[in-house]
């Protein structure tokens, strides 16, 4: 679905365009002149501007020139009944993506919109790749599937795969190292968004003053050092999944803005008055007692209930002892293969030790021990 602003001074033309685009599943706003269009672009972030060429006051090329200054990534498609090579060249020179002639052919229009959205998607994918390359990997590696020998965890995984098919928000709780990120990836992998982006944000690893900018982006000049517009994860991961790890570390004031995203699917960049929409699914995780944090005034109760549509609690390793040997042998096998060594035999006294130890670092600590043993 594209967010499209249609500009035309002819009532009949604008009515037809609106119906065609809405029937194709797009979200459409209409205005009758260039000045009103600029006001709308200053208030809301559109994917595509579809504008008539000949209008009183401000023509399509002039509107294109000013619109792309406000929103450089917006796709502009011009429509005119007076097609000339010169007007086409002017339109492209000032930032138009495509050029159609009246009477507009429905198939050509929808194809132009589709091509425009492909450009938008490509820009998003490039930005996501850039962010991934810049992002420091945290947490444990994700196995191909979340494996377990524990009956309670198996039931939870079955429920998680059912929840995955919906767009419902999920809260995952449990101690550090229990595999919260792995479960989040499993939910995404089994969701209808599996071919879209999965973005991991460790809220505890990013300073509070930078987290808002990373989540929602910022406008050029919004603070010292903001030398250009910056896209946040909620814009980059549109239609995908965002995993907010350590959600309890988010500042109470920033929680208000996150609540707005969950309620309205809208946000604004830091230093920007324009509203943007996002269609991301949120999976949050915490190792803290959020109810206690609510009682202490450190976490918003309304945000908690927005996040906690479905909650999955991950048992610690000492609460699922059958998984200790299961994971230890699995990790030993993996490391032996990667290091091209024979898998060591685990003797009884070692097994007894593994089962008697409390494993405060949970699965992550167990994996580290298996790696050292393998080496």
* Cα distance between residue 331 and residue 344, in whole Å: 11
> Same structural domain for residues 202 and 275?
yes
* Cα distance between residue 234 and residue 238, in whole Å: 6
**120-124, 142-146, 258-262, 285-289 — which is least confidently predicted?**
142-146
Mean pLDDT, the chain, whole residue set: 87
> Same structural domain for residues 343 and 309?
no
Q: In the listed set 95, 127, 159, which residue is the last one of a domain according to the structure?
A: 127
Q: In this structure, is residue 190 part of a structural domain? A: yes
**Is the pLDDT assigned to residue 172 strictly greater than 80?**
yes
137 pLDDT band (50/70/90 cuts)?
Answer: very low
| CB-count exposure of residue 320 (10 Å: 0-12, 13-18, 19+) | buried
**Is the pLDDT assigned to residue 130 strictly greater than 50?**
yes
> Same structural domain for residues 244 and 369?
no
Q: In this structure, is residue 44 part of a structural domain? A: yes
**40-49, 82-91, 306-315, 330-339 — which is least confidently predicted?**
82-91
At residue 85, the pLDDT reads: 57
At residue 209, the pLDDT reads: 76
* Cα distance between residue 263 and residue 305, in whole Å: 11
For the chain, what is the domain count? 3
At residue 139, the pLDDT reads: 35
At residue 83, the pLDDT reads: 58
87 pLDDT band (50/70/90 cuts)?
Answer: low
**128-142, 165-179, 258-272 — which is least confidently predicted?**
128-142
Q: Which domain holds residue 352?
A: 318-374
At residue 365, the pLDDT reads: 93
Tens of pLDDT, residue by residue over 207-232, are 877 899 889 988 887 776 677 778 88
Tens of pLDDT, residue by residue over 304-357, are 999 999 999 999 999 999 999 989 998 999 888 888 888 888 899 999 999 999
124 pLDDT band (50/70/90 cuts)?
Answer: low
> Percent of the chain scored above 70 by pLDDT?
90
144 pLDDT band (50/70/90 cuts)?
Answer: very low
Q: In this structure, is residue 143 part of a structural domain? A: no
> Same structural domain for residues 103 and 75?
yes
* Cα distance between residue 350 and residue 372, in whole Å: 14
> Same structural domain for residues 302 and 357?
no
At residue 34, the pLDDT reads: 92
CATH code (residue 217): 3.40.50.300
* Cα distance between residue 203 and residue 215, in whole Å: 10
**Is the pLDDT assigned to residue 3 strictly greater than 60?**
yes
At residue 82, the pLDDT reads: 64
> Same structural domain for residues 228 and 93?
no
Q: At what angle do helices 322-338 and 362-374 cross, to 10 degrees?
A: 40
């Amino acid at each position: 679905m594209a967010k499209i602003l249609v500009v035309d001074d002819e009532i009949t033309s604008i009515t037809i365009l609106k119906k065609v685009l809405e029937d194709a599943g797009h979200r459409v706003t209409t205005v009758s002149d260039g000045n009103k269009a600029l006001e709308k672009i200053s208030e809301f972030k559109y994917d595509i501007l579809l504008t008539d060429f000949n209008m009183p006051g401000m023509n399509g090329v002039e509107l294109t020139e000013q619109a792309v200054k406000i929103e450089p990534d917006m796709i502009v498609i011009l429509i005119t009944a007076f097609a000339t090579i010169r007007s086409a060249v002017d339109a492209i020179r000032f930032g138009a993506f495509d050029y159609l002639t009246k009477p507009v052919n429905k198939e050509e229009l929808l194809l132009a919109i589709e091509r425009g959205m492909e450009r938008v998607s490509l820009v998003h994918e490039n930005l996501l790749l850039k962010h991934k390359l810049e992002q420091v990997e945290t947490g444990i590696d994700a196995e191909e599937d979340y494996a377990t020998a524990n009956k309670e965890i198996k039931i939870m995984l079955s429920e998680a795969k059912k929840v995955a098919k919906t767009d419902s928000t999920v809260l995952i709780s449990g101690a550090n190292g229990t595999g919260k990120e792995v479960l989040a990836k499993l939910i995404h992998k089994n969701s209808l968004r599996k071919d879209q982006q999965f973005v991991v944000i460790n809220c505890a690893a990013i300073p509070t003053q930078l987290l808002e900018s990373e989540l929602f982006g910022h406008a050029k000049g919004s603070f010292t050092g903001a030398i250009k517009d910056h896209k946040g994860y909620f814009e980059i991961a549109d239609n995908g999944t965002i995993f907010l790890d350590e959600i309890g570390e988010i500042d109470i004031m920033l929680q208000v803005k996150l609540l707005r995203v969950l309620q309205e699917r809208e946000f604004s960049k830091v230093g920007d008055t324009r509203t943007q929409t996002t269609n991301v699914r949120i999976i949050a995780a915490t190792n803290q007692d959020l109810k206690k944090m609510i009682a202490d005034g450190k976490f918003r109760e309304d945000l908690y209930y927005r996040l906690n549509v479905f909650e999955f609690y991950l048992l610690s390793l000492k609460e699922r002892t059958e998984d200790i040997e299961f994971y230890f042998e699995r990790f030993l096998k993996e490391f032996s293969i990667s290091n091209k060594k024979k898998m060591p035999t685990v003797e009884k006294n070692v097994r007894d030790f593994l089962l008697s130890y409390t494993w405060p670092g949970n699965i992550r600590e167990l994996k580290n021990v298996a790696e050292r043993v393998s080496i």
